[in-house]
Amino acid sequence: MQSTLPTVLLLLLSCAPFPAAPEDVFRSPPEAKDSGYRPGNVVRWCEVQRDGRLLYHGPVWRWHRNGRQESKANYIYGAAEGDTPSWHENGRMSSHGVFKNGDKVGLWKYWDEEGRITTEVAYADSGHQRTDYYPTGKKKASGVFVSSGKIGKWTYWNADGKEKANCDFGTGVFAVTTRACQVIADELDPEGFSRPIPVGSLNADGSCSLRIADEHYVFSTPPGWVADTEAGKTEGAPLVFYPAGGTWRGDNANLYVRVLFKAGGSFETVLRQEAEGFSESVAEYSETGSSRERLNSGLSVVTRTITYKSLTKTDSPFSIVGDNKVFEALGFVDASREVVLLAVLTSPSEKDHAAATDALGALICSLKVETKWPTSTMCSSPRKSHSARCAREDGGGPLDESSCPPCACLDQGMLASRFIWTILAFPGTNPSY
């Protein structure tokens, strides 16, 4: 009996199904489908179909080619959730932290293959505090960053502990102006720096303001609409609007304003880059109409209408192409040397969209520039808005009234009607930018 027992065990093992995943037990939720595990797999996951989309739901494990565990994560309907460790090929931990609803929260730590701490990041809504270390354990750098880049105070040390550079990026800057800031921007992760973070605010007279560093813009809230400076923050929209009784992203028309940075480029460059970048992120993109006008303020505005099908990227290996064609109306305002303001109208139906086009026209035409530009001056003609300006083409200093040529300010009602006609010709349904 003793001599035949090993043979019997080998026969039983050869008839068994595929072996269980290594280390801990991989448990698939009852409602999810397990991709299964076989020797040599580099990933095993669980998936569910929800609202026509395939999503990770449950554990997602990965392995290095040498068979050692690379990472263990857990998802709830496509969003990472909970404790998430990962390892180097040699088995030493590479990172560890916690996800909550798809976002990193709290303290995350990162190590090199020798087990030495390289980076610590404390994630928070107000900004993520990052500290980098040299292999000796001494601090290399410390500062705060957000999704758009470095903000606030940063300090950079040499390996001997002496300070190499420091810089205060504040709430973001248009450009760095000192060598120390340039060194920190170039040599430390995340690379670069944040452009000024736009801040929206509501005014007592019902209007709303948008501040970008020392630039200040004021919009009038369209009649029958509600202005909101909080709802769109996580989507990069400091100002959003929706009909009274409706909600942001609800089953109603929505308006929002975003800031696009020129970063040394021109208005035309921003228009081209936005179209190219967005078209690559969706399916069946098509520009169906456009127009170019000049506001009472003298600022150029380009309106576009586009159609496309949404392309939803998930944390799974799948991207989902939407079934329905999307229509939108966009208004790009050449606001300053530094920024372009983008106003977008989006609606859940063609009918709602047509009814809301006057709101987009009114919003864009109401724009007032409160900043004192070094290349323009106010026009005081009684027939013009108090914010109307004469733009200087030569880039010179402020003009006095006597040297201000007549401003070609369009009648606001006529301009709004042109916007409305353009948008009505190509109504939209869903948000894009």
The ranges of the chain with pLDDT < 70 are 1-23, 312-323, 371-433
End-to-end CA distance of the chain: 74
- What CATH number has the domain bearing residue 280? 3.40.1000.10
Q: What DSSP assignment string belongs to 305-374?
A: EEEEEEEEE-SSS-EEEEEEEEEEEEEEE--SSSEEEEEEEE-SSHHHHHHHHHHHHHHHHT-EE-S--T
Its pTM stands at: 0.71
Per-residue DSSP letter, 416: H
Q: Is residue 246 part of a domain?
A: yes
- Written as six digits, the tokens of 297 are 């303020």
Q: Is residue 243 part of a domain?
A: yes
Q: Is residue 189 part of a domain?
A: no
Q: Is residue 53 part of a domain?
A: no
The count of domains in the chain is 1
Q: Is residue 57 part of a domain?
A: no
Structure confidence at residue 184 (pLDDT)? 97
Structure confidence at residue 258 (pLDDT)? 96
H or E, element range at 118: strand 117-123
Q: Is residue 271 part of a domain?
A: yes
Q: Is residue 350 part of a domain?
A: yes
346-369: pLDDT as tens digits: 887 778 888 898 999 999 999 999
Where does residue 149 rank: exposed (0-12), middle (13-18), buried (19+ CB within 10 A)? middle
Structure confidence at residue 322 (pLDDT)? 60
Task: Count CB atoms within 10 A of the CB of residue 100.
Answer: 13
Domain residue limits at 244: 199-425
100-126: pLDDT as tens digits: 999 999 999 999 999 999 999 999 988
Residue 299 gets the label, from left (phi > 0), alpha (psi -120 to 50) or beta, of: beta
Q: Is residue 403 part of a domain?
A: yes
